[in-house]
Structure 1
Amino acid sequence: MKKAFALLTGLTLLFGVLTGCSTQSNESPQAEQASTNGEPMVLRWSINSEPPSLDPGIAVDADSFDMIYAAFEGLTSYDVNGELVNATAESFTNSPDYTQFTFKIRKDAKWSNGDPLTAHDFVYAIKRNLDPKTASEYAYQLYYIKGGEEYNTGIGSADDVGVKALDDYTLEFTLKAPTPFFRELTFFPTLFPLHQKTVESNPKWADEAATIVGNGPFIMKEWEHKQKIVFEKNDNYWDKDNVKLDRLEVAMIDDNNTAFSMFENGDIDWGGYPASTLPPDAIPYLKNEGKLMVASNPGTQSVVFNTQKPPFNNQKIRQAFAYAIDRQAIIDNILQTGVPAAYGWVPDSMGLKPEGYFKEDPAKAKQLLEEGMKELGLTSFPSVTYTFDSTDMNKKVAEALQDQWKRNLGIDVKLYTAELKVYRDMRSQGNFDMIRFQWGADFNDPINFLEMFREKTGGNNHPDWENPKFKELIDQSYTEPDLEKRKQILLEAETILMEEMPLAPINFRGNPYVKNDHVKDFIIFPLGGAYFKYASVMR
């Protein structure tokens, strides 16, 4: 089992640790002086939109998560080499069968207001996030904990959840089945601690800078909504000596052309992922100049079908739309980052079936469309709309899909672009025919891409699809200790997913960016997202 665990965690990939990064781990990196001229060291950043919430148990979007990782910290984090290391926890142990994990909390860990941070803060946060009243979309990440799913679905109690504080600085998890990757999962915000007095005293505590109490390397000092967020170094952070930035200024810029122009003009220090999206027209220029970099974090871009209403309640019609997509044309002519085409949902780096489950086939697509329409009793195809969030890149991909569906299926698909918050609301409420969906790994295991479709009520099951055999296989994988047998179980599950096609994969993720050379030691997490703890700006 220990050998298997080492193999699994060793699969965690480091993409995007930048040229010029320190090679030291975060246990003892050398702190740099703030500036050559005695002024504060400031990193100027951007995000695409207003973060809906900085509550680690509620947030679901990348912009919110990036801000949360600045203000909060979990039991584990990543160092500058992309290695998972202890963070708020100073050590851990696990049982030989990986059903119990025990973490020792640092006694010098504090909240940003100076209060001591204890194991009780983790217990409170986890049970609060599992409480059905909290309505945490990521509550299912806590189902590995014994009693977690039962409490969240209303058939169990908080007292039965397998997390407890053995004392103020010892946290114990009891899991429902062997979970060798559980330590890696503790890096995810749903398992972050919360300051109980703050949460319970103000339902809107996570909406304003003045009321956010975190435990991370930075404190939020300003939140000018829809304009900017400002962080400053947290003097109560346990590892403050290794935090180099004095200040982090985050502008909210919803237009990616504007953001890129600001980067070129020197007004912000980063262009593209994970701060924003590079304009499609800028990518060839940056590539020719040798400046383009790509963070290949595990993830998949797809078209999700609403399986609960015609015509996409029909499997053959879903397959027809999937087989009619020319993925390589989209990659070569629009994305231009050399990412792989996706013929499966689980990224090929996770090794279930790298060659995929299907291929483009316009002739077969047309045949499936005709068969599906006959099964639904349709003599003409109804009006359908593809919805996407408003970036130039997403618009170009949407237009390419529209053209391919017209050319290969003879169907006129309408396009609808929505501002990010509206798009997310439509997606979560099932208010769409087809909608863009990109999923990035929360932890490096295929189950993270599959278990969201286990049942319709899953927080990220946007196609609202369910299959009894698929659910049975996912449940079986939870208790299978043999990694090779477990892989075959998950392979069978993905085979069902790709046969019924509630979503059509397009490409695996590759996020382009460019940076100023004076930015050092900024980390793009191995699984995606921004981490500012070690960053420095030597102007």
Structure 2
Amino acid sequence: MKNSKVKQLCAVALAATIGLSVLAGCGSKTADKAATSSKQELVFNLAADPKTLDPGLNQAVDGSIVDANAFEGLCKLDENGKAIPGQAEKWEVSNDKLTYTFHLKKDLKWSNGDPLKASDFEYAWKRVLNPETASIYSFQLLYLKGGDEYNTGKGTADQVGVKATDDTTLVVTLAAPCPYFLELTASTTYMPVEQKIVEGNKDWAKDAKTLVSNGPFKFTDYKIKDQIVLEKNENYPDKDKIKLDKITMKMVTENTSAWASYKTGQFDMVYSVPSSEIEQAIKDKTATTFKMLGTQYVDVNVSEKAKEIDANAAKVLSNAKFREALANAIDRTTIVEKVLKSGQTPAHSFVAPGIIGPDGKDFASKKYFEEKGDIEKAKKLLAEAGYPDGQGLPQLVVLYNPENGNGELYQAIQDMWKKIGVNVELQTQEWKVFQATRDAKNYEMARGAWNADYSDPMTFIDMFISTSPNNEVGYNNPKYDQLVDAAKNEIDANKRFDILHQAEDVLMEDMPIIPLYHDTKTFGIKDYVKGVKVSPLGYIFFDQAYIEGKK
């Protein structure tokens, strides 16, 4: 990234407020009483085996859910998504908004009892930026002065704008003013790690004994593909406010099995509800739906790597009219109403709704295709692409991970494409393998999804610039890159949003991704589970949760 990119990304404030949904609970005194009268242990099916629990390397929601409860940044978020003190008790910001001086709380400790110092934050942030770490989320730290240069090998760690001046003081210098920097320090990428632990064992994040953390809960067990156990961290500054003694996160990836266990009382909360059960579960209040700021889509591999997989398939996938035909053949309304049935919104654009522009309008107001699809238009586009009624098409493969009911979704898409003469084979890979395959661009078409990191269109749009580590489709259009760069160099908010709309126009014309729907998330949550907080960014927080009235 160029410095100008960081400068203008930070020059515009968040366009909408991120708010946390909190499951109803009692007042603090009543909650304390309830917490003492019920066993404070919660069993939650995470429904995935996280690829990593290293906060500096994690790139998935499942890992973030775990890390957000075991680690803590300088700040954390309140119910309105605004920064409040976390590990820092206070901070000062310079008049030019470039320098933040954080003062850590006194006597902070890691879960193993070691003292936690400001230098632990400095080490963690520079570790993420270190090109040898190869963190996909290193872009989140390019706000720091010298961060871009260090990350791209053009500068040194000493030149990065983060410095522990003593054990409790961290001075941060930004490349440009960033009105939501404090909120960023609450994200998992900004969370500290203990240097001696990380450097003493390359597999430190795979073992509960070495997964030393600093948040409200600590790791006491980690069995890959089985469970993660978190228990109250007695070294956490606000330990007396934590009511749960233990959280067992299971990794049952098959929805139906997990739901059956939930119904019989083996789980108190499940991450995913089978689509066939959602409607009734919401009615009988055994499940709750939350809005997410995210989009699900189909990735189309338009990179040069696709030719190595299947040259004939790559030729077809590189045809923009073919990709547009696929997009128009999908009836998204039927998908959300008949297949998913959890309150999702059919997509007609890429950027998710809920981001309000300076004109007071939702950024996602432009319609690029019909939610119900247009079969005749799809057939016409397919013929214009050179494949009338699908004639001459090679066998194409769509890859997805089977967790969380994705099978039903992609079977529906397979059937819709068949109506225009496009036959695809569906293949599955378990989540960890799937992520690696998709990152390596070793696929033809694949399931894609993005949940916003912050509430601004840029969190979606800059994913697909040619240099983005999140550009898993290999999209490369100089015009698109130029528009995104121009948006990041535009100070006027109205002009900036107009340029971002132009960028989305180009993306949707080229269609390297095929938007499907905008997310909600339906969790199975027993009525005796109180105080769980859910963020539109995908986090689930258990620091205020408790059990009341479990029989």
Normalised to the residue count of structure 1, the TM-score between the two structures is 0.91
> How much has 1:503 moved relative to structure 2?
0.3
Aligned to 1:446: 457
Query: 1:17 & 1:7 partners in 2: Cα distance?
Result: 28
Q: Which amino acid aligns with 1:452?
A: M
Partner in structure 2 of residue 13 of structure 1: 18
Q: Which letter maps to 1:295?
A: F
Q: Secondary structure at the match of 2:214?
A: coil
Q: Structure 1 residues 10, 379: closer, same or farther in 2, change over 3 A? A: closer
Find the counterpart in structure 1 of residue 330 from structure 2: 325
2:328 equivalent to 1:316: no
- Contact 2:41-2:247 within 8 A present in 1 as well: yes
Question: 1:62 aligns to what?
Answer: 61
CA apart distance, 1:520: 0.9
Query: Runs of 5+ in structure 2 lacking a partner?
Result: 1-8, 304-313, 356-361
1:346 paired residue number: 351
Aligned to 1:209: 208
Paired AA for residue 404 in structure 1: M
Contact kept in structure 1, 2:47 and 2:403, CA below 8 Å:
no
Q: Please give the secondary structure, in 2, of the residue aligned with 1:85.
A: strand
Aligned counterpart, 1:279 = 274
* Counterpart-to-counterpart distance in 2, 1:98 and 1:362: 53
Of the candidates 486, 500, 516, which is equivalent to residue 490 of structure 1?
Answer: 500
Partner of 1:362: 375
**Which residue does the alignment assign to 1:395?**
407
**Distance across 1 between alignment mates of 2:111 and 2:34:** 21
SS in 1 for 2:275: coil
Query: How many Å apart are 1:155 and its aligned residue?
Result: 2.4
1:417 aligns with 2:428: yes
Q: State the distance in 2 between where 1:129 and 1:459 align.
A: 14
Query: What is the DSSP-based 3-state SS (H/G/I as helix, E as strand, rest coil) of the residue aligned with 2:480?
Result: helix
Aligned to 2:83: 84
- In the alignment, residue 441 of structure 1 is paired with which amino acid? A
1:379-420 CA-to-partner distances (Å, cap 9, x unmatched) read: 61111111111136211110111111111x211111112211
**Which residue does the alignment assign to 1:519?**
529
Aligned to 2:230, what secondary structure does the other structure show? strand
* Distance (whole Å) between structure 2 residues aligned to residue 526 and residue 106 of structure 1: 28
- Distance in 2, Cα, partners of 1:393 & 1:15: 25
Q: Provide the rounded CA distance (Å) in 1 between the counterparts of 2:254 and 2:153.
A: 43
Equivalent residue number for residue 32 of structure 1: 32
Residue identity opposite 1:417 in structure 2: T
Shift of 1:174: 2.4
Following TM superposition, by how much is the alpha carbon of 1:302 offset from its aligned partner in structure 2, in angstroms? 0.4
Amino acid corresponding to residue 365 of structure 1 in structure 2:
A
Q: Secondary structure at the match of 1:138?
A: helix
1:531 corresponds to which of 521, 541, 551: 541
Contact 2:123 2:195 in 1 (8 A): yes
Query: Does structure 2 conserve the Cα–Cα contact (< 8 Å) formed by 1:78 and 1:525?
Result: no
Partner Cα separation in structure 2 for residue 330 and residue 297 of structure 1? 17
Distance in 2 of aligned mates of 1:517 and 1:150: 51
d(CA) in 1 for partners of 2:291, 2:488: 28
Inter-partner Cα distance in structure 2 for 1:172 and 1:486: 31
The equivalences for 1:127-276 within 5 A come to 127-271=126-270, 275=271
Mapped to 2, the partners of 1:202 and 1:329 lie a distance apart of 50
3-state DSSP class of the match of 1:373?
coil
Mapped contact 1:353–1:491 kept (Cα < 8 A): no
Q: 1:356 to 1:161 in 2, by over 3 A?
A: farther
Measured at CA, do residues 226 and 330 of structure 1 come closer, stay the same or move farther in structure 2, by a change above 3 Å? same
Shift in alpha-carbon separation, 1:96–1:284, aligned structure 2, 3 A: same
Task: Name 1:500's counterpart in structure 2.
Answer: 510
Comparing 82-91 with 278-287, which one deviates more in the overlay? Answer: 82-91
When structure 1 is superposed on structure 2, of 142-151 and 298-307 the one drifting more is 142-151
Distance 1:166 1:400 in 2: 57
Cα distance change, pair 526–374 in 1 and its aligned pair in 2 (3 A): closer
Q: Could you tell me which amino acid in structure 1 is paired with residue 381 of structure 2? A: L
Aligned-residue offset at 1:255: 1.4
The C-alpha deviation readout for 1:66-102, integer Å capped at 9, x for no partner, is: 1111211012212356543221122233345544333
Residues 83 and 33 (structure 1), Cα distance of their counterparts in 2 relative to 1, 3 Å cut: farther
SS in 1 for 2:209: helix
Report the 3-state secondary structure (helix = DSSP H, G, I; strand = E; otherwise coil) of the residue aligned with 1:514: strand
SS of the equivalent of 1:349 reads coil
Judged with a 3 Å threshold, the aligned counterparts in structure 2 of structure 1 residues 5 and 153 are, in CA distance, closer, same or farther, namely closer
Q: Name the SS of the counterpart of 1:353 in structure 2.
A: helix
The Cα shift of 1:188 comes to 1.5
**2:3 maps to what in 1?**
none
Q: Is the 8 A contact 1:178 1:480 kept in 2?
A: no
SS at match of 1:298: strand
Distance (Å, rounded) in 1 between the aligned partners of 2:187 and 2:258: 28
Cα distance per residue 1:274-319 (max 9 Å; x no partner)? x2x2111111222343544211010000011001232212222111
Q: What is the Cα deviation at residue 357 of structure 1? A: 2.7
Distance 1:154 1:402 in 2: 44
SS in 2 for 1:144: coil
Structure 1 equivalent of residue 298 of structure 2: 303
Give the counterpart letter for 1:293 in structure 2.
T
Cα displacement (A) at 1:15: 5.1
SS at match of 2:317: coil
Structure 1 residue 165: deviation in Å? 2.3
For the Cα contact (< 8 Å) 2:286–2:527, is it kept in 1?
Answer: no
Is contact 2:322-2:381 (8 Å) kept? yes
* Root mean square deviation of aligned Cα: 2.5
Q: Please say which of residues 12-21 and 521-530 is displaced more in the overlay.
A: 12-21
The residue number in structure 1 matching 2:480 is 470
SS of the residue 1:32 aligns to: helix
Give the superposition deviation at 1:374. Answer: 7.4
Q: How much does 1:207 deviate?
A: 0.7
Change beyond 3 A, Cα 1:381–1:21: farther
Q: Determine the C-alpha separation between the residues in 2 that align with 1:292 and 1:222.
A: 28
Instruction: Return the letter of the residue paired with 1:366.
Output: K
Tell me how far 1:6 sits from its aligned partner.
Answer: 13
Q: How many residues are aligned here? A: 522
| Rounded Cα–Cα distance in structure 2 between residues aligned with 1:502 and 1:10 | 26
Once residues 496 and 26 of structure 2 are traced to their aligned partners in structure 1, the CA distance between those partners, rounded to angstroms, is 37
Of residues 344, 368, 371, the one that matches 2:384 is 371
